[in-house]
Amino acid sequence: MKIEGVLFDIYGTLIYVSEESIRMRSGIISRYLERYGIHLQPEDVALEAAHRWIEFSKGEFADVYEYFSAVLSGLTGQSDFDEEFMEGLIEVGALESEAELLPNVVETLESLKKLGIKLGVVSNAPCFYAMRDLRALGLLEYFDAIGVSSRWKITKPDPEIFLRAADSLGLKPQNVIVVGNDPIEDVKGAKLAGMRSVLLIPPIEGMWSTSRAVFGECDDEIECEPDCVIEDLSEILEIIQNVGSQDI
């Protein structure tokens, strides 16, 4: 069966944010709050922000303003914050991207485009952050479908988010490969949607992630067994070229 499209996970597959970057950003936020008499440890800020990130990814907050309001409410017990104060918090805490490219991402996307492969992303993430980071790293232009959980109110591994993204590309599930770094969100979700799956083992250590906090460990090895495992994104090119002549 010919592969006509690829759906990529975003964080941990195309780009990543390091745990060190999260610690640094939490420290910046903590120092900003101290100026207003709110004394919080950076570690506590990071934990609460990660917890609320999961809710944000599910579409429970309308925008980044509501997200940061929820983070502060969880940490302080307060719920009424000055608008100017919140705008300053968002400026120091969210407007600048800390995301970095994983190896060979741009080269691989360029090669896939030259082959006529349609590209999309499917991610459990807040739309604000996903779009910010893809745009900052120059990746947004490569994708014809942007499937982000907070926008569509669907989270992986629900097959509907994959099917909707494939439909946005005008493709049938059997003509699509899903590439991601999570056996549950990406591999299981792809299988449930009737798509092939490729599991990427990221070569970068210390990547920040909330995946296990949401879904835990895989309880069915068969459901989470990928069609193929790769260690570099560029390997997807050979896989696509081999599909049709042999099984992956």
Q: Is the pTM of this model over 0.85?
A: yes
In this predicted structure, what is the pLDDT of residue 70? 96
Question: How far apart, in whole angstroms, are the C-alpha atoms of residue 225 and residue 242?
Answer: 20
Cβ atoms of 8 and 102 closer than 8 Å: no
Question: How far apart, in whole angstroms, are the C-alpha atoms of residue 101 and residue 119?
Answer: 17
CA quadruple 130, 248, 226, 11: dihedral, nearest 10: -20
Q: Which of 183, 190, 186 is nearest to 220 (CA)?
A: 183
Sign of the dihedral defined by the CA atoms of residues 173, 212, 215, 220, in that order: positive
- Here the tokens at position 202 are 């990221």
Q: At what angle do helices 83-93 and 19-34 cross, to 10 degrees?
A: 150
Q: Taking the domain 5-17+99-242, which CATH number applies?
A: 3.40.50.1000
Cβ atoms of 71 and 48 closer than 8 Å: yes
Where are the chain's structural domains?
5-17+99-242, 19-93
Q: Which of 166, 226, 239 is nearest to 198 (CA)?
A: 226
Q: Report phi then psi at 37, rounded to 5.
A: 80, 15
Q: Which of 206, 204, 186, 210 is nearest to 196 (CA)?
A: 186
Q: At what angle do helices 235-242 and 105-114 cross, to 10 degrees?
A: 30
Tens of pLDDT, residue by residue, the chain (248 residues): 789 999 999 999 999 999 999 999 999 999 999 999 999 999 999 999 999 999 999 999 999 999 999 999 999 999 889 999 999 999 999 999 999 999 999 999 999 999 999 999 999 999 999 999 999 999 999 999 999 999 999 999 999 999 999 999 999 999 999 999 999 999 999 999 999 999 999 877 778 775 544 445 666 667 789 999 999 999 999 999 887 544 45
